[in-house]
Structure 1
Amino acid sequence: MTSVQEPSAYEGFRGKRLALVESMLHAVFYDEIAAARRHGLRVHLLIRDREWYAADEAAWRDHPLTEVDQLTFVDTHSADAVLEAITDEHGRPLVDGITTFSDYHTEIAAQVAEKLGLPSPGANAIATANHKPSLRAALGDSPYNVPYALVTHPGELAEAAARIGYPLVLKPPAEAISYGVVLVDHPAELTAAYDRVAAIRQSLRGQPRPGHVLMERYIDAPEVSVESLTVDGVTHVYGVTAKYLCPPPTFLEAAHTFPATLDPVSRAEVETAVTEVLRVIGYRQGPCHTEVKCTADGPKIVEVNPRLPAGCLTTMVRDVCGSNPHLDAKLLAVGARPPLPSGRQSGGAAVVMLYPPPGPAVLEAVDGVTEAEELPGVSVSLFAHPGEHLWHRIDNSGRVGLVYATAATPQDALDTATRAAGRVRITVAPADAGPDDLHTDISRQQR
């Protein structure tokens, strides 16, 4: 493994104050807030309500997010409310920067940063990336684009499908974790799929949605993601991650390896596609997790996510490259210059997701974790506990946990993680289906 970046690389945190709008629900995001604070950064966390992070008051008292320097409850769906929370009575900023790694708040954080003259990735760039039809429109006739249509009324459905051609993917225009994504192979399936996606009238964080549906041609090809950091409009690549998906129609992520095993030409093509797309949308600075299909006709952009990735991807970057994307992104947000990705890589890492059997269920037990962690380089993270009702939506929030491994090569790491995952036994009991977008214990979403 490559050695981790020297502490002196993060001296720029000292004396700086960062407003962080919400948090992703992963232990690594909490741990890296603490790491930045140890380097001298003062963190002002803004959240809408504690229920998103903890099931009850007792759980919240012990939550790592309560250990920040300042915690403010505010309507994080409102740019004006966020702005007011981090300015004095004269409208001057009380922080040196503002950022977020939550898909649902990146636009608001960028808008507030621009209003206050703080470092910003560019509000227009964020809006373009987050609204998938806008990204498709910005790409235009780029070879990295795919045929698409934004359907705002059922009467547009048949013509759009005929123009794009089957198979199709239908998805909400702005969502995350593959929520609401549906594969349509035949015209007979189209109307039901459209109705299902159009019925999504709020985001997973409760923000209103108009019920529009993005339709894209399905690309049957291997998928990778590019983990990058843009500084002063120039994109630097940490590396490329190989993504292993469950068979359609689920689109669930089954495993990742880092770095992806690509020939030099293919890797260069993928990295060029990502840097060009970020240039086109005007992305000024910040981390990005860009998903790409590797087709015979070259790379095709799936999504641009202007934030840090989850699923242990940043941990893989840290262990293989020696870089810390979390600290790098926070440095950028407060106006300091982070160490740029060096391109050096050593060894490999992999993660295998743990899913319960399909259908509504109550988790009874997870056994075999100790046996799994006996394998070299393996750690297991669990997101659910016995007695909890498991999500029955078909998206990446359904994970019960994951298995992480490092080894001499990415394939060795994947083989080890797969063997370890085989030792983990998940036992569930059937349960009545609950609401499609809620959970009795939302804190277990630390996927």
Structure 2
Amino acid sequence: MSRKALILVEGHRGIGLLYVQAAQRLGLRPITLSADPSQYDYLAAQGIEGIRVETDNLDALTHECSQLSSKYHIAGITGFTALDESLYAKVGRLCRHFGLPGPTPESIERCCNKFTQRQLLANAGIPMPMYRLATDAAGVERSAAEIGLPVILKPAAGSGSSGVRLCRDGNELTEHTAFLLGGKHIWWSPPAILVEEFAQGPHYVAHLMGNEVIGIEAAGFGPPPHFVFREGTFPAPLTSDEHRHMADVSLSCLGALGLGWGPTCVELRCTKRGPVVIEVNPRMSGGPEPVQLAYGIDLITEHIKLVIGDQCNLRRSHSHISVWQSLLPDRDGILDWIDGDSRAAAVPGVAEAKISIEPKTRIIRKGDHRDSMGYVIAVSPSLAQTQAILQRAVELISWSIIPFPTSSGEEQSAAPRLSPPAQAASAKR
């Protein structure tokens, strides 16, 4: 029998390479099953085996894993949610079929339906915004009237803030409802819209592994009406009482949803009535690097250990502060040029400065995670020092976006962006 293999269902443009590298460090052979392996550049670059398979078909996945088991000892199976979070439930079913450690698929499926998630949390008495479910425009309007504007409209199933928007008045409500139901939004399930109260207050993300809260991150968004993550600080500057309260609420979510195996991230807002749960994601967050930089805990490696049946180690090796900032375009158009990442990366205290977009790319902002052009992340022993490092690095990155040609075919003058505005707090992808 050949060496142990780790099966990765689909890949991930952000953290996929980190999973591959962590698997190799643990002596595993990573193999990716994907509907389109070519979309993940790191597979070819790293010489990683990628097998084309219909990943939305559980039978096809089971068959492929059975075929691989004749060549390799399959030590574990895990995967990424991509745009369809139900994919992770299929990972759980594969693990159950092959007798491997993994998430409970029924719990994942319940959690991935945001309306069902809300109902389960409400039944457990967990604080959260008011909400309603609507399947047509009349239902959206009626729900918004019952809750009171402003409200947030979001698909009942989805990820990455895709289709999520703050509606501050009737016109915005009508406009976004038409967008979601008019064929422009890609639905992975029958169209259903969650209408939620806009809970106002600072946003936080609790990072959990199993039944342990690793830490809580403060996060900030770009300008409304969308919710594109712009910046973050880990750990969040909280009092011990604030941290304990949010950690207790996060742990209560696990019990209410039947979670508690592997990684989970819980999004909260701290409102006048205390922390309220915005969303529970039964998966790794899109950016585990701040935790590793601040605490020395490699969540990806520890997750893989759980996947292959080993014991994970969540002890901190140090206690620093990491901050990140995403590079977000402020307009649509054609990216003429972007540079400065190498200068930013050379700033002492910068852990990484990454540009993930090429010049001449057409930029059409979608109001979700796809808008990011890259990020900068910094770390040091103190919050003030780390913020100063980050600001210095971000100011070294600049770009220019040329507006799209007008109807007459003429291009308007370039719109240079000498540097993104320095954020007072922190930053990332």
TM-score, with length taken from structure 2: 0.87
Q: Which of the numbers 130, 155, 163 marks the counterpart of 1:172?
A: 155
State the percentage of identical aligned residues.
Answer: 25
The secondary structure found in structure 1 opposite 2:370 is helix
Total equivalences in the alignment = 402
1:412 pairs with 2:391: no
Seen in structure 2, the aligned counterparts of structure 1 residues 32 and 90 have a Cα distance that, compared at 3 Å, is: closer
Q: Which of the numbers 321, 330, 349 marks the counterpart of 1:377?
A: 349
Quote how far apart the aligned CAs of 1:83 are. 1.0
Q: Which of the numbers 87, 110, 114 marks the counterpart of 1:128?
A: 110
The aligned residue for residue 25 of structure 2 is 38
1:157 pairs with 2:136: no
Q: Which of the numbers 242, 252, 255 marks the counterpart of 1:279?
A: 255
Q: State whether residues 264 and 282 of structure 2, in contact with CA within 8 Å, keep that contact through their aligned partners in structure 1.
A: yes
The aligned residue for residue 422 of structure 2 is none
Quote how far apart the aligned CAs of 1:274 are. 0.9
Q: Which of the numbers 292, 306, 322 marks the counterpart of 2:268?
A: 292
Q: State whether residues 3 and 73 of structure 2, in contact with CA within 8 Å, keep that contact through their aligned partners in structure 1.
A: no
* Cα root mean square deviation, aligned: 2.6
Quote how far apart the aligned CAs of 1:186 are. 2.0
Q: State how far apart, in whole Å, the 2-side matches of 1:184 and 1:357 are.
A: 20
Q: State how far apart, in whole Å, the 1-side matches of 2:17 and 2:89 are.
A: 21
Q: State whether residues 167 and 183 of structure 1, in contact with CA within 8 Å, keep that contact through their aligned partners in structure 2.
A: yes
Q: State how far apart, in whole Å, the 2-side matches of 1:200 and 1:127 are.
A: 25
1:220 pairs with 2:200: yes
After superposition, what is the alpha-carbon deviation per residue over 1:16-59, rounded to whole angstroms, capped at 9, x for unaligned? Answer: 43211011112x430331232122122221011134335xxxxx
The aligned residue for residue 325 of structure 1 is 299
Aligned amino acid, residue 231 of structure 2:
A
Quote how far apart the aligned CAs of 1:201 are. 7.1
Q: State whether residues 4 and 72 of structure 2, in contact with CA within 8 Å, keep that contact through their aligned partners in structure 1.
A: no
The secondary structure found in structure 2 opposite 1:140 is helix
Seen in structure 2, the aligned counterparts of structure 1 residues 15 and 283 have a Cα distance that, compared at 3 Å, is: farther
Deviation larger for 417-426 or 362-371? 362-371
Q: State how far apart, in whole Å, the 2-side matches of 1:143 and 1:283 are.
A: 15
Gaps of 5+ in 1: 1-13, 55-59, 434-445
Quote how far apart the aligned CAs of 1:344 are. 6.2
The aligned residue for residue 397 of structure 2 is 424
Seen in structure 2, the aligned counterparts of structure 1 residues 362 and 135 have a Cα distance that, compared at 3 Å, is: same
The secondary structure found in structure 2 opposite 1:375 is coil
The aligned residue for residue 10 of structure 1 is none
Q: State whether residues 259 and 349 of structure 1, in contact with CA within 8 Å, keep that contact through their aligned partners in structure 2.
A: yes
The aligned residue for residue 83 of structure 1 is 62
Aligned amino acid, residue 389 of structure 1:
R
Q: State how far apart, in whole Å, the 2-side matches of 1:124 and 1:416 are.
A: 44
Seen in structure 2, the aligned counterparts of structure 1 residues 202 and 180 have a Cα distance that, compared at 3 Å, is: closer
The secondary structure found in structure 2 opposite 1:256 is strand
Q: State whether residues 224 and 240 of structure 1, in contact with CA within 8 Å, keep that contact through their aligned partners in structure 2.
A: yes
Q: Which of the numbers 114, 132, 146 marks the counterpart of 2:96?
A: 114
Which structure is higher in RCO with an 8 Å CA cutoff and minimum separation 6?
Answer: 1
Alignment of 1:21-420 (within 5 A): 21-26=9-14, 28-54=15-41, 62-64=44-46, 67-68=47-48, 70-88=49-67, 95-103=74-82, 104=84, 105-141=87-123, 142-199=125-182, 203=186, 208-230=188-210, 235-310=211-286, 313-339=287-313, 341-342=314-315, 345-359=318-332, 361-378=333-350, 379-420=352-393
Aligned amino acid, residue 133 of structure 1:
F
Quote how far apart the aligned CAs of 1:179 are. 1.2
The secondary structure found in structure 1 opposite 2:378 is strand
Aligned amino acid, residue 93 of structure 2:
Q
Instruction: List 4+ stretches of structure 1 deviating above 6 A.
Output: 89-93
Q: State whether residues 88 and 94 of structure 1, in contact with CA within 8 Å, keep that contact through their aligned partners in structure 2.
A: no
Gaps of 5+ in 2: 407-427
After superposition, what is the alpha-carbon deviation per residue over 1:126-155, rounded to whole angstroms, capped at 9, x for unaligned? Answer: 112211111101112524222111111223
Q: State how far apart, in whole Å, the 1-side matches of 2:181 and 2:311 are.
A: 43
Q: State whether residues 348 and 411 of structure 1, in contact with CA within 8 Å, keep that contact through their aligned partners in structure 2.
A: no
Seen in structure 2, the aligned counterparts of structure 1 residues 264 and 75 have a Cα distance that, compared at 3 Å, is: same
Seen in structure 2, the aligned counterparts of structure 1 residues 338 and 199 have a Cα distance that, compared at 3 Å, is: farther
Seen in structure 2, the aligned counterparts of structure 1 residues 99 and 245 have a Cα distance that, compared at 3 Å, is: same
Aligned amino acid, residue 279 of structure 1:
G
After superposition, what is the alpha-carbon deviation per residue over 1:289-348, rounded to whole angstroms, capped at 9, x for unaligned? Answer: 2111111212111111122222xx311111211111001111111222211x23665111
The aligned residue for residue 413 of structure 2 is none
Deviation larger for 145-154 or 214-223? 145-154
1:20 pairs with 2:22: no
Q: State whether residues 348 and 413 of structure 1, in contact with CA within 8 Å, keep that contact through their aligned partners in structure 2.
A: yes
The aligned residue for residue 419 of structure 2 is none
Q: State how far apart, in whole Å, the 2-side matches of 1:136 and 1:39 are.
A: 38
Q: State how far apart, in whole Å, the 1-side matches of 2:300 and 2:207 are.
A: 12
Quote how far apart the aligned CAs of 1:71 are. 2.7
Q: State how far apart, in whole Å, the 1-side matches of 2:404 and 2:78 are.
A: 39
Q: State how far apart, in whole Å, the 2-side matches of 1:153 and 1:18 are.
A: 43
The aligned residue for residue 4 of structure 1 is none
